[in-house]
Structure 1
Amino acid sequence: MKSALVAIASLAAAAPAAAQTAVEDPLLKETVTVAAGAAYVPSYVGSDDYLVVPAIGVRGSVSGFHFQFRGTQASVDLIRNSDPHAIDLQFGPVAAVNLNRTRAIRDPQVRALGELDTAIELGGYVGIAKTGIITSPYDTLSANITYTHDVAGAHDSYKITPAISYGTPLSRKAYVLVSGYADFVGRDYGDYYFTVTPAGSVASGLPAFSARRSGMLGWGATALVNLSLTGDLTHGLSMVGGGGYYRVGNRYARSPIVAIVGDRDQFYGGLGLAYTF
């Protein structure tokens, strides 16, 4: 799953400029937004137990270069965007920490399978975006695809995530963002997180199951709302909230950790405060 923490920590990603001023196009302003809050997420991908966890995010634009840190993932766009109203081509590195089943596992049978190692996933992304297409000069439609590979020897495999999003200001003080995405993973990824070995079956009481195949891990959708509390969306304090849904793919949903003691339908939500400098 594209980590629920990443999706909810988009707290920092939903506050672009809302309207043009007479002095300066706000999309040309250099800004940094810092957000912090709490998220309600499944304890692991496919779990029916939920946790409340901290969520943080940082997003900025300096000299036409965009960067963001969302939850456990960071990325930088290395293609300078000098004209925010032109087609924006995107390319840059991505680094992520995958904490799935590394801690806070509530189900006793899944916990009996043992905690997994943390995966450090490195890669990159390419994308395209256009601002000013439907509702105003400041709405944005974007699409991108991200590839990462574990370099820490945990699952030692890859994940590919295509995504599409649309965001639009409702006023100078309100902004909404909706997105959809899917995750495709390598066979070692599925094996690491969803297989129940014969030894694991004895320890947990769950039936043995092999998930050593590549395919679509799942798909999801998110919606976020940003409301300015002081100033407007280009500067000051704001409140950000949102939620999402994720459905584990058929192949991995048949794993006992999902089908027997979990749920393929995943829900998550979050609420926090953000400040734009």
Structure 2
Amino acid sequence: MTATAALVAATPALAQDGPPPSSTPASTLAADLDKDTITVAVAGAYLTDYEGSNDYRFVPAPAVQATISGYNIQVLGNRASVDLIRDRPGPVWDLQAGPIGVINFNRQNNKNIDDRRIRALGERNTAIELGGFVGIGKTGVITSDYDKLSATLSYRHDVNNAHDSDIWQPTVAYFTPLNVKTAVGLFVSAERAGGGYARSYYSIDGTQSLASGLAVYNARGGWKNWSVGLAGTYSLTGDLLHGWKAIGGVNYRRMLNDFADSPVVSVAGSRGQWLAAAGIGYTF
């Protein structure tokens, strides 16, 4: 669900950057940029059965994004984070740092997996991944004083002994308001996972091979995937900082190295996967 969270995160986050001051309504909105806002959204996401699958299903993807006294709080599907460095309004540099937590449901329930070969490999325990992130952003880069370019690096470790491993994730994102009602965002990301993650989800031992028909495989840690996504939001009532809005986006993920070469992906799944999400949110 990491990609799902990224898509749902992108669109409510755009409301925090605000619109260009090119008209009287926009100028009024500019005065609201340092005020507290909360965006609540729910989307339907179309994503793969498991990480590396070529089968798809629909899942709900709720999201809450809040800016309170300059601090950003996100609860996005299976992911939560808090930026403990206070933001300042205007075209400024923005330092970011804080805790992050992810509940990883990958292959946790065979009822959600169509491929009988993957079901035969057995279910995995739910992974609780806790860690932190650091980053830097710049508001007022290309299109106006309100677009934003940011780069972050997050680290998570499974504390539930599901895969007992680390995940590093660098992300670069660019968000820009097009007017007082519309904003778009583009992001690229990658993940590097440890050996425990590779063994838990992508290795196949002799017993599993006999049960599934997939070849024995010993996966090693390393760069797991890269992804690129596009997201947008359009205000149905009010503007980017107030009222109802439609949200949506699309993401492409490409598996890499031992993760891509595993029969879990190369035989039973696909090295490339698409994800799409669409929904509605309200900002107040």
Q: What does residue range 133-144 of structure 1 map to in structure 2 within 5 Å? A: 133-144=141-152
Q: Deviations over 1:192-241 (max 9, x none)?
A: 11001111001111111000x22100000110010000000010000001
**Contact 1:8/1:270 (8 A) holds in 2:** yes
Q: What is the match of residue 116 of structure 2?
A: 108
Match status 1:209 vs 2:220: no
Bigger drift between 81-90 and 55-64 goes to 81-90
* Secondary structure in structure 2 of the residue aligned to 1:234: coil
Q: Deviations over 1:154-184 (max 9, x none)?
A: 0000000000000101110000000000000
TM-score, length-normalised on structure 2?
0.94
Q: For 1:52, which of 32, 38, 58 is the aligned residue?
A: 58
Q: Deviations over 1:65-111 (max 9, x none)?
A: 11111111100000112344321100000011001111211100000
Distance of 1:260 and 1:22 partners within structure 2: 55
* Secondary structure in structure 2 of the residue aligned to 1:26: coil
Distance of 2:181 and 2:51 partners within structure 1: 35
Q: What is the match of residue 172 of structure 2?
A: 164
Q: What is the match of residue 98 of structure 2?
A: 92
Equivalenced residues, count:
275
Q: What is the match of residue 6 of structure 1?
A: 5
Consecutive aligned runs of 4 or more in structure 1 exceeding 3 Å deviation: 19-24
Distance of 1:26 and 1:251 partners within structure 2: 49
Bigger drift between 136-145 and 6-15 goes to 6-15
Distance of 1:224 and 1:197 partners within structure 2: 40
* Secondary structure in structure 2 of the residue aligned to 1:15: helix
**Contact 1:190/1:214 (8 A) holds in 2:** yes
Bigger drift between 23-32 and 164-173 goes to 23-32
Q: Unpaired runs of 5+ in structure 1?
A: none
* Secondary structure in structure 1 of the residue aligned to 2:63: strand
Distance of 1:149 and 1:223 partners within structure 2: 28
Q: What does residue range 256-267 of structure 1 map to in structure 2 within 5 Å? A: 256-267=263-274
Q: What is the match of residue 19 of structure 1?
A: 20
* Percentage identity across paired residues of the two chains: 44
Q: Unpaired runs of 5+ in structure 2?
A: none
Distance of 2:132 and 2:90 partners within structure 1: 22
* Secondary structure in structure 1 of the residue aligned to 2:46: strand
Q: What does residue range 184-203 of structure 1 map to in structure 2 within 5 Å? A: 184-203=192-211
Q: CA deviation at 1:22?
A: 4.0
* Secondary structure in structure 1 of the residue aligned to 2:129: strand
C-alpha RMSD over aligned residues: 1.2
**Contact 1:14/1:224 (8 A) holds in 2:** no
**Contact 1:73/1:95 (8 A) holds in 2:** yes
Q: Deviations over 1:101-153 (max 9, x none)?
A: 11211100000111100000000000001111110111000000000000001
